[in-house]
Amino acid sequence: MASPTLVAKLFEDPLDIVGDVHGELGVLRDLMDRLGYDGDGNHPAGRRLVFLGDLCDRGPDSPGVIELVRSLIERGRAQCILGNHELNILRHDKKDGNAWYFGEGHPSFEKERAHSEPAPAGHTYHSFFLSLPLALERADLRLVHAAWDASAASALRTAGATSLELFQHHEHATHKHLEHSGIAAKAKAEKELYGPALSAPPPSTRPPLLPNIGKQDELKQTMNPVRVLTSGPERVTDQPFFASGKWRMCDRVKWWNEYTDDVPVIVGHYWRLADHDGEPDEESVSSGKPNLFADHPPHAWVGARQNVFCVDFSIGGRHRELARGRTQFKTRLAAVRWPERQLVFADGPTLAMVPGFTAD
């Protein structure tokens, strides 16, 4: 298979840009209907769909979402970029939410099989994921799953490799750097010294900030352009925080506050809430990671130029809300209409998008 263009040309048509779907096929169909598409992805005004990745994992029907989006792409009605959840599958990385793909060999298989449709026999999802670009661009807009980084995008435009091959190349180079610099050995010593304390949840005693573990995690993220675009840059924190089962020394960066280009960027990946009404329900949506948009209303652009927007409204937590018996949801699926700059929810209002602000 020829290597895909990893930073590809975005449709010139009016667009509906859909955030992370995470296997919620029914909600996606509701959103498409709300946007005016028929079941085959046709729109009476000639609009087209663009998906920002993370089609799969967590929700009830990842195969159904993948098959729908792939069929839309094949008919020329949609484009899609690779998200970190698809990348995990390409890397054969068994994480919470993707037992639907790996089956009985997955550590969460028993927990997830009750609510997740399994991958059908003979599927070709691996090759489909390999065919997806990491970013899409045109003169007035850039789309990427997590973060636009000029140097990473430049490296990817002429890569001549698949996303997986490029990921593996940079992982190897990073590993060599960490070994030769001595950071890996120092990080290993810190892990051996603190051992089980690094996975003991609150209210256990918080470990101190371990600088070499933090620096190792930071460099693993920032030295790999595939990681940067699919899950964003990270930096060593001021103090450790507990998320996804361990104490972390490195956290996500609000990269949009350092983005000064004129071209707007739309991303998914970073969870946020459609209801700007106080404390988030972290058990449902965040796995302990902070809401980086807590000081912004859901329809606000953010960043140094107020031209970056995140359209991930945490639909990946819908199955948790359902399991807890909820009928009123904080998790939503949304799309940005471009160039109209409207935010459309599958089960909520349509909002005119406004410049960002930060609450005092």
Q: What does the longest C-alpha to C-alpha distance in the chain come to?
A: 63
Split at pLDDT 50, 70, 90, the class of 327 is: confident
Instruction: Measure CA 288 to chain center.
Output: 16
Is there a contact between 150 and 92 (Cβ–Cβ < 8 Å)?
A: no
Token digits of residue 334: 């949304």
Residue in this structure with the two tokens 């729109």, named with its chain if needed? 43
Split at pLDDT 50, 70, 90, the class of 74 is: very high
Token digits of residue 84: 């970190």
Token digits of residue 340: 């109209």
Q: How many CA atoms lie within 13 A of 231 on its CB side?
A: 19
Instruction: Work out the angle between the directed axes of helices 183-194 and 211-222 (0-180°, nearest 10).
Output: 130
Over residues 334-346, mean pLDDT: 97
- Give the Å distances, CA to CA, from 171 to 64, 74, 84, 222, 224: 32, 32, 15, 11, 7
Split at pLDDT 50, 70, 90, the class of 14 is: very high
pTM of the model: 0.93
So what's the pLDDT on residue 279?
46
- Give the Å distances, CA to CA, from 195 to 4, 187, 237: 42, 12, 20
- The closest of 305, 352, 312, 350 to 332, measured between CA atoms, is 312
- Give the Å distances, CA to CA, from 343 to 18, 143, 240, 340: 10, 16, 35, 9
For the domain with range 7-159+253-352, which CATH number is right: 3.60.21.10, 3.30.565.10, 2.40.10.10, 3.40.50.720? 3.60.21.10
Q: Where are the domains of the chain?
A: 7-159+253-352
Is there a contact between 79 and 136 (Cβ–Cβ < 8 Å)?
A: yes
CA–CA separation, 118 vs 98, rounded Å?
10
pLDDT digits (tens, 9 = 90+) for 92-140: 999 989 999 998 889 888 888 778 899 999 999 999 999 999 999 999 9
So what's the pLDDT on residue 354?
85
Is there a contact between 263 and 305 (Cβ–Cβ < 8 Å)?
A: no
So what's the pLDDT on residue 160?
85
pLDDT at 359 over 60: no
CA–CA separation, 289 vs 246, rounded Å?
11
CA–CA separation, 130 vs 5, rounded Å?
11
Which of 40-44, 60-64, 175-179, 317-321 is predicted with the least confidence, judged by mean pLDDT? Answer: 317-321
Residue in this structure with the two tokens 């169909």, named with its chain if needed? 29
pLDDT digits (tens, 9 = 90+) for 232-250: 999 999 999 988 788 999 9
Is there a contact between 273 and 150 (Cβ–Cβ < 8 Å)?
A: no
* Percent with pLDDT over 70 in the chain: 94
So what's the pLDDT on residue 356?
67
- The closest of 332, 347, 344 to 284, measured between CA atoms, is 332
pLDDT at 2 over 90: no
- Give the Å distances, CA to CA, from 180 to 99, 176, 184: 36, 6, 8
* Percent with pLDDT over 90 in the chain: 74
Is there a contact between 55 and 69 (Cβ–Cβ < 8 Å)?
A: yes
CA–CA separation, 163 vs 166, rounded Å?
5
So what's the pLDDT on residue 284?
55
So what's the pLDDT on residue 278?
46
Helices (H), 75-210: 84-90, 99-102, 109-112, 125-130, 150-157, 163-181, 183-194
